[in-house]
Structure 1
Amino acid sequence: MKLSFMLQKNCIITNIKGGCRGREDILREMVDALFENTELKEENIGKGELVLSLLEREKQQPTSLGDGFAFPHARFPELKSFYMLLGICREGVEFNSLDDKATNFFIMTIVSSANPEILLKSRAAMMRFMMPLPVRKAILKAKSKDEIWEMIDKSNIRVDYEILAKEIMRPQIGFLRLDMGLKEAARTLHKYHIDTLPLLDGNNNFIRDITCHDIFVYGLPDLFANIRKAPSMKDISEMDAFFKVNQAITLKDLRIDRPAPVIDSEAPLMEVIYQMTLNARNILYVVKNKKILGVIDRYNIIDKVLMG
């Protein structure tokens, strides 16, 4: 099925208002458009109920994933059809994005709980169409919804296409560098409240991942051996002294033998799940030509595939 068949022309809104607006106002504007232009008004769902469901989803996990995109969505068991809306805010608006940048493109989908796969496939199809930067620029410059719909139709993007790693990844926030000292690396991990970050070389090529465990264990094997023997020990002066004395040690001094957790951007969804399950991966970096495109973690799988 072509994407242009699923996204009706009158469900392309080219004038989403920007400025200092809350998420609820933006969602209400799009919900109003859906009720006005589709058969959603004939479903057993009210506007208020739909807005509350969309807001609840935003509270669970923001749907603005970065690069100017947001994917507000909701599922209802009694829904008879599938509804999609493309909202465009030319100046951009704050929508609690993961990369803290303004959001320009809102892809809203309302689906039946009985058919959750269509949510992910329709979202993936929209991303295949809109991912190229020239396409996004052309959409922002388009003078009418007809012009945008023609672009979608001529792309011949289909919704019944296999879901790929690059279509479910989220942006990678934060990096480590080879010349970083261990203490600076530890602070960077702490800054993002995360246990692992990708390590890049001077050309921004991905080398491998670095974890908190890698940093703490390096040069402190005796301390960690004692911790295993006496888990109740409270004196961490040895660790503090290590960071103070060994400031010249950088991440390039670490020797880590485990394979880097990477997956190709074109890998199908089942390959992603297989790699995470078989190799007990908590995270996979989506890499193409040695460059990080994004990251997939187990929460991504649960959130996008199971929870919608």
Structure 2
Amino acid sequence: MDKEPQIVFSSHTVLLDIAVQDKWELIRQMVGVLCAEGLLSPNPSITEQQVLDAVIQRENEMNTALGKGVALPHARIPGFQGVGMAVARLRNPITYNGKNEDHQVWLVVLLVVPFEEPQLVLKLMALAARMVSDEAVTNLFRSVSDPELVADLVYDRVFRRDTLVLARDIMRPPLVEVRPDMPLPEVTRLMSEHMLESVAVTEPDGTLLGQITCDNLFKLGLPDFFSHLKSVSFIREFDPFENYFKKEAHYLARDVMTSDVATVPDDATLLEVIFELAVKSNPKVYVVRDGKRVGVIDRSTVLNRIINI
């Protein structure tokens, strides 16, 4: 039987209302607390500086802010023995990445795990995502003054429960809002500005109506019979956008969108998401709750938040 890994996490690694200048100072403090609590006891060949360097390297490779004021810095260290976790609630939010309010962070969970056990990072990421989406839990984290209570809550959810990663845990918020009466030139400008191959068309309340893809746009100026051709070499001089520009100024989003949209509920499992993306070859799936779009998952989302974690 495999020996249970040593877990370094307690009220002593919960830091409440600490004041820091930036995320680097915060990460140094959190790594220091973990090491002071015995993180390196089963790892005599690893130093505190090596752990710190591993966390910093991960931050430099990819921003670990999850959104809604929460960040998940972490390190996966080859051959590392045990698991270390620290939680910090900041007295004042800090700019974690970027310069606007969307990157302000007030709650940080730092994790150090063996490289061979990425599931622990995924599990914690799922927990953090649910915490910020649950107003009651978020309010508890904002107001609680007892480190023991925070430690018990987090320990129970992370180390005692079998947490599945769900669609709502890894989805990204929508980048743009497209209404059915939006003029087509405005839609294409948004798609170009945000480098999107497709956008959802929704009602003001978030109800998903359909989507507009680059394929929809490219085919707008082509005659219907083109879909039956095997080659266009005999009409190479045909301008595929001549008819498009004749129509563009008069078209609205509803005139171009298609209702053929891949969706998953927000409680869909990771397997169900991957099935839609890989097996059914959908480049993107929209996450819905009660018929309303609440997020989106594409292949890059899975790369960033699952495979490259």
Distance of 1:84 and 1:238 partners within structure 2: 59
- Is the contact made by 2:40 and 2:47 (CA closer than 8 Å) also made in structure 1? no
Distance of 2:39 and 2:55 partners within structure 1: 19
1:177 aligned counterpart, secondary structure: coil
Cα gap change, 1:109/1:234 in structure 2, threshold over 3 Å: closer, same or farther?
A: farther
Cα gap change, 1:284/1:255 in structure 2, threshold over 3 Å: closer, same or farther?
A: closer
Distance of 2:271 and 2:8 partners within structure 1: 25
* 1:187-210 deviation per Cα after TM superposition (whole angstroms, max 9, x unaligned): 111221222222111322122232
- Is the contact made by 1:18 and 1:92 (CA closer than 8 Å) also made in structure 2? no
- Is the contact made by 1:107 and 1:123 (CA closer than 8 Å) also made in structure 2? no
1:14 aligned counterpart, secondary structure: strand
* 1:238 corresponding residue in structure 2: 242
- Is the contact made by 1:205 and 1:290 (CA closer than 8 Å) also made in structure 2? yes
217, 220, 234: which one pairs with 2:219? 217
1:87 aligned counterpart, secondary structure: strand
Cα gap change, 1:152/1:65 in structure 2, threshold over 3 Å: closer, same or farther?
A: closer
Q: Which structure would you say has the larger RCO, counting Cα contacts within 8 Å and 6 or more residues apart?
A: 1
195, 198, 214: which one pairs with 2:197? 195
* 2:88 corresponding residue in structure 1: 87
| Aligned length in residues | 297
Q: TM-score, normalised to structure 1's length? A: 0.82
Higher mean C-alpha deviation, range 260-269 or range 196-205: 196-205
Give the C-alpha shift of residue 132 in structure 1.
0.8
Aligned positions of 1:112-127 closer than 5 A? 112-127=114-129
* 1:258-281 deviation per Cα after TM superposition (whole angstroms, max 9, x unaligned): 3x1211111111111122121112
* 1:133 corresponding residue in structure 2: 135
Distance of 1:271 and 1:236 partners within structure 2: 38
Distance of 1:13 and 1:58 partners within structure 2: 20
Give the C-alpha shift of residue 151 in structure 1.
4.4
- Is the contact made by 2:174 and 2:294 (CA closer than 8 Å) also made in structure 1? yes
1:209 aligned counterpart, secondary structure: strand
* 1:67 corresponding residue in structure 2: 68
140, 144, 147: which one pairs with 1:142? 144
| Ranges in structure 1 where 5+ consecutive residues have no aligned partner | none
* 2:295 corresponding residue in structure 1: 294
Aligned positions of 1:26-41 closer than 5 A? 26-40=26-40
Cα gap change, 1:17/1:222 in structure 2, threshold over 3 Å: closer, same or farther?
A: farther
Q: Quick one: percent identity of the two aligned structures?
A: 22
Distance of 2:75 and 2:308 partners within structure 1: 10
Q: TM-score, normalised to structure 2's length? A: 0.82
Cα gap change, 1:135/1:28 in structure 2, threshold over 3 Å: closer, same or farther?
A: same
Which one-letter code corresponds to 1:238 in the other structure?
Answer: E
Which one-letter code corresponds to 2:31 in the other structure?
Answer: V
- Is the contact made by 1:66 and 1:171 (CA closer than 8 Å) also made in structure 2? no
Which one-letter code corresponds to 1:69 in the other structure?
Answer: V
Distance of 1:14 and 1:107 partners within structure 2: 12
Instruction: Indicate whether 1:305 and 2:309 are aligned.
Output: no
* 2:266 corresponding residue in structure 1: 265
Give the aligned CA root-mean-square deviation in angstroms.
3.2
* 1:132-155 deviation per Cα after TM superposition (whole angstroms, max 9, x unaligned): 112212211222312423544687
Cα gap change, 1:203/1:129 in structure 2, threshold over 3 Å: closer, same or farther?
A: closer
- Is the contact made by 1:81 and 1:112 (CA closer than 8 Å) also made in structure 2? yes
* 2:4 corresponding residue in structure 1: none
* 1:131-187 deviation per Cα after TM superposition (whole angstroms, max 9, x unaligned): 311221221122231242354468798432322221222333222211111110111
Give the C-alpha shift of residue 64 in structure 1.
0.7
Distance of 1:294 and 1:15 partners within structure 2: 31
Distance of 1:304 and 1:18 partners within structure 2: 27
Cα gap change, 1:186/1:34 in structure 2, threshold over 3 Å: closer, same or farther?
A: same
Cα gap change, 1:90/1:169 in structure 2, threshold over 3 Å: closer, same or farther?
A: farther
